[in-house]
Amino acid sequence: MDARRMSRAVPRVRQVGFFTPNTPVQQPRPQSAAPSSESPPLSDSPASNSLSPVMIPPPRHLSDNLGGRTAAVPVPGRENSGELPTVGSYNPSESVLWLDSPPRSRIGDEELSEGAESSLGWYRRSSSAKFASSLPSGGFNLSTVKHPESVAAVEAKNPLPGKSEAQKEQASSSKPLKAKTTKAERRALQESQRAAKAASKAEANKSGTAGGAPSSKPMKQPPLKKDGPPVASSIAASERIGVDRSVEKERKKDLPPPRKQFDDESRGGRAKRRSVLNQPEARNRVELFRHLPPHKNGTQLPYLQSKFFELHEKHPAVYKVGLQYLAGDLSGGNARCIAMLQAFQEAIRDYSTPPEKTLTRDLTSKIGGFVSFLIECRPLSMSMGNAIRFLKSRIARLPLTLSESEAKTTLCSDIDRFINEKIVLADKVILRHAAAKIRDGDVLLTYGSSCVVEMILLYAHELGKQFRVVVVDSHPMLEGQKLLRRLVVKGLSCIYTQLNAISYVMHEVTRVFLGASSIFSNGTVYSMVGTASVAMVAHAFRVPVLVCCEAYKFHERVQLDSICFNELGDPDAISKVPGRVDVNFLDNLTDKQKENLELLNLKYDATPSDYISVIVTDYGMIPPTSVPVIVREYRKEYLLI
């Protein structure tokens, strides 16, 4: 109840600009103003103060999210903190929470934005409690990010006066067991941990194995720190400088544009401790894209595999799908979405409500857990986000009178229906529409391997239309070859070329068919990297560009660039050419030389709507400007089916 009261206080308070430190009276409200505080030492002290009245010890990994958010969108008068991010947080690439967002909070957000408040009391409570407790630290963190060099000052200052002692006492009186550390100490601890992590790669591995029990780490170390934070921090600093200067440099450069995906390193650190996978240390990543989650390449696979039996709360089907995402066995928006939904279906079938819990709530949190596991394996695509949102809304809307088995069958058939209606039937409709646009003698160009485009080509071929296909492909995935094989086998006449030759083949092309991972409200097509170039070249040659995309992949977000939200692929994949020993020039670089090398393997890009002639979707062929209409008009319906 206490927590709930706090949640009320939080959003109101956020508008307040100032606060006075250290007075216990102003506990819930002024702290939440902390994000705007300028001086780290100040924001530090209320942080520790505020912890004491809150009953739940602040989960450290959460604290920053909110800070980041509030700082970014200081919109007053918003009612729900959950609404602060522009759209539902189910989508990983847009959510500030990403890995460190535990299933619960994301659920909370989503529920809030859907306005289904009445049935969701406990999510709200849990998330609001986190908000309340996390606010001050968020403020602190923000300030530290702004002034990285001031961190040392904080560290130095903090342990000195009796103030911190008092804080400690205060904290301990309310929570005798935990959370004895002040903010600065934790900060110092974090600093040193990070330094240690940077210091040795082997260390990183170890922390990964410790990742199984993430909470123990922060709890254990503070006493160590308490003795001499300045000393420790100086050690840490010297270590950092001595061993890995680039980390320091990187951090200095990395001044925060506050609303990027994962720009806060400390948040990354927290995510690291929380997550099932141990994350690779981000090295040699391009400056501009450093906020994106690093690719979890094959090295993570053995680790996850060895955990197979230990993560027993993950359903085997979900686990398998996760492994396939991680290993790259399964790619492609539709396939990933279907695989995920089918895994959820299986999980729901095997689900039984634990005693003293209700199905709706427990299952939602379960699904949330699965989702965050999948996100760790690979960031979700927009379409999967939409599907998850659909599933959760179905769970939330289950009538309470249903028995467990009825509820489960309802959900399973819902999932089936989603797959059938939103994907299978949608594809069939798209086939008809698009095939109508293919005439005899056409030369069709496609890029990469989109399953809808493939079906269109095959369908048109079955209809007996005479056309040729140009398959444009690009490294490192070379997905086009898979498509090419299937097309050639079916008897279509094809031309295969690489992306860099596109301007030469574009002359004879009469239509360009492209697939999409998602389409945003402003008509921007978010698709496999390279699509934008293809569309632009086609535009320059005045060749119509048809984007084929199921409507469930539409998204209400507006995005102008592909920098803020994107996905990083395996950097090694572009530095090595498989099977070509003679061109692996990057193989034997020394570590020193490698420091000068940054590899960028982006997975997606955004094509502006100017370059797109028409979008073929299951609601018909529409201009890109009509996407928001579809989103607006049919979103409700599809949440309700």
Partner 1 sequence: MDFQVVVLAGGNSKNLTPLVSKELPKPLLPVANCPVLNYVLHQLEQSNLKDLIVVVEGEDAALLVGAWISGTFIDRLHVEIAAVPEDIGTAGALRAISHHLTAKDILVVSGDLVSDVPPGALAATHRRHDAAVTTMLCSIPVSGPLESGSSGGKDKAKKLGRYNIIGLDPSKQFLLHIATGAEIEKDARISKRILHAVGQMEMRSDLMDAHMYAFKRSVLQEVLDVKDTFQSLKEDVLPYLVRSQLKSEALLNRTPQGEENSNEKVSSQNNQAFISRILANASTPSFHGIYSENPDGSSSTRKTHKCCVYIASSSSYCVRLNSIQAFMDINRDVTGDADHLLSPNNIIGPSPKLGTKTTVGPNCRLGEGSEMGDKCQVKRSIIGRHCRIGSHVKVVNSVVMNHVTIGDGCIIQGSVICSNVQLQERVELKDCQVGAGFVVTAGSEYKAESLAKKEK
Q: Which is nearer to partner 1, 342 or 626 (CB)?
A: 342
Q: Does 519 bind partner 1 (CB under 8 A)?
A: no
Q: Does 334 bind partner 1 (CB under 8 A)?
A: yes
Q: Does 419 bind partner 1 (CB under 8 A)?
A: yes
Tracing tokens 């209700």 back to the chain, one arrives at: 358
Q: What binding mask, one character per residue, do residues 447-476 give for partner 1 by CB under 8 A, x or -? A: --x-x--x----------------------
Q: Running DSSP on this structure, what letter comes out for residue 508?
A: G
From the list 23-31, 32-40, 326-334, 602-610, the region that binds partner 1 by CB under 8 A is 326-334
Q: Which is nearer to partner 1, 312 or 636 (CB)?
A: 312
Total residues contacting partner 1 by CB under 8 A comes to 37
From the list 70-78, 245-253, 325-333, 513-521, the region that binds partner 1 by CB under 8 A is 325-333
From the list 62-70, 299-307, 563-571, 580-588, the region that binds partner 1 by CB under 8 A is 299-307
Q: Tokens standing for 582?
A: 């003679």
Task: Indicate which single residue of 125, 175, 475, 482 sits in contact with partner 1 (rule: CB under 8 A).
Answer: 482
| Helix boundaries (H) for 378-527 | 382-396, 404-417, 426-435, 451-462, 479-489, 502-505
Q: Tokens standing for 553?
A: 């992949």
The answer to whether 327 touches 352, Cβ cutoff 8 Å, is no
Which residues, listed in sequence order, are joined to residue 493 by a DSSP beta bridge? 468
For residue 120, CA distances in Å to 49, 112, 362, 408, 490 come to 30, 8, 11, 20, 52
Q: Which is nearer to partner 1, 18 or 309 (CB)?
A: 309
Dist. CA 8–CA 299, nearest whole Å: 45
Nearest 5°: phi and psi at 622?
-130, 155
Minimum distance from CB of 318 to partner 1 (Å)? 11
Q: Does 417 bind partner 1 (CB under 8 A)?
A: no
Task: Indicate which single residue of 336, 378, 389, 433 sits in contact with partner 1 (rule: CB under 8 A).
Answer: 336
Q: Does 480 bind partner 1 (CB under 8 A)?
A: no
Q: Does 331 bind partner 1 (CB under 8 A)?
A: yes
From the list 90-98, 119-127, 297-305, 392-400, the region that binds partner 1 by CB under 8 A is 297-305
Q: Does 424 bind partner 1 (CB under 8 A)?
A: yes
Cα pseudo-dihedral 159, 160, 163, 169, rounded to 10: 50
Minimum distance from CB of 308 to partner 1 (Å)? 3
Task: Indicate which single residue of 75, 169, 231, 308 sits in contact with partner 1 (rule: CB under 8 A).
Answer: 308
Q: Does 478 bind partner 1 (CB under 8 A)?
A: no
Q: Does 202 bind partner 1 (CB under 8 A)?
A: no
Q: Tokens standing for 240?
A: 């950092």
Task: Indicate which single residue of 117, 165, 287, 329 sits in contact with partner 1 (rule: CB under 8 A).
Answer: 329
Q: Does 332 bind partner 1 (CB under 8 A)?
A: yes
The answer to whether 509 touches 445, Cβ cutoff 8 Å, is yes
Q: Does 191 bind partner 1 (CB under 8 A)?
A: no
Minimum distance from CB of 483 to partner 1 (Å)? 8
Q: Does 209 bind partner 1 (CB under 8 A)?
A: no
Q: Does 253 bind partner 1 (CB under 8 A)?
A: no
From the list 247-255, 284-292, 335-343, 459-467, the region that binds partner 1 by CB under 8 A is 335-343
Q: Does 269 bind partner 1 (CB under 8 A)?
A: no
Buried b / exposed e along 266-300 (16+ C-beta atoms within 10 A): bbbbbbbbbbbbbbbbbbebeeebbbbbbbbbeeb
Q: Give the amino acid at 513.
A: F
Task: Indicate which single residue of 134, 261, 300, 324 sits in contact with partner 1 (rule: CB under 8 A).
Answer: 324
Which residues, listed in sequence order, are joined to residue 605 by a DSSP beta bridge? 527
Dist. CA 636–CA 385, nearest whole Å: 15
Dist. CA 105–CA 111, nearest whole Å: 10
Q: What binding mask, one character per residue, do residues 370-409 give for partner 1 by CB under 8 A, x or -? A: ----------------------------------------
The answer to whether 545 touches 378, Cβ cutoff 8 Å, is no
The answer to whether 443 touches 468, Cβ cutoff 8 Å, is yes
Sites for partner 1 among residues 488-517 (CB under 8 A): 489-490
Nearest 5°: phi and psi at 472?
-100, 140
Q: Which is nearer to partner 1, 3 or 457 (CB)?
A: 457
The answer to whether 301 touches 278, Cβ cutoff 8 Å, is no
Q: What binding mask, one character per residue, do residues 427-446 give for partner 1 by CB under 8 A, x or -? A: x-------------------
Q: If phi over 0 gives left and psi between -120 and 50 gives alpha, with beta otherwise, what is residue 284? A: left
Q: Does 302 bind partner 1 (CB under 8 A)?
A: yes
Q: Which is nearer to partner 1, 243 or 327 (CB)?
A: 327
* Nearest CA-CA partner of 294 in 234, 195, 379, 230: 379
The answer to whether 565 touches 641, Cβ cutoff 8 Å, is no
Is the alpha carbon torsion for 147, 152, 153, 159 positive or negative? positive
How remote is the C-alpha of 412 from its chain's centroid? 26
Nearest 5°: phi and psi at 346?
-65, -40
The answer to whether 260 touches 562, Cβ cutoff 8 Å, is no
Task: Indicate which single residue of 4, 163, 486, 594 sits in contact with partner 1 (rule: CB under 8 A).
Answer: 486
Q: Which is nearer to partner 1, 28 or 332 (CB)?
A: 332
Dist. CA 281–CA 445, nearest whole Å: 40
Task: Indicate which single residue of 209, 215, 306, 481 sits in contact with partner 1 (rule: CB under 8 A).
Answer: 306
Which residues, listed in sequence order, are joined to residue 495 by a DSSP beta bridge? 470
Residues that bind partner 1 (CB under 8 A): 302, 304-310, 312, 316, 319-320, 323-324, 327-332, 334-336, 338-339, 419-420, 423-424, 427, 449, 451, 454, 482, 486, 489-490
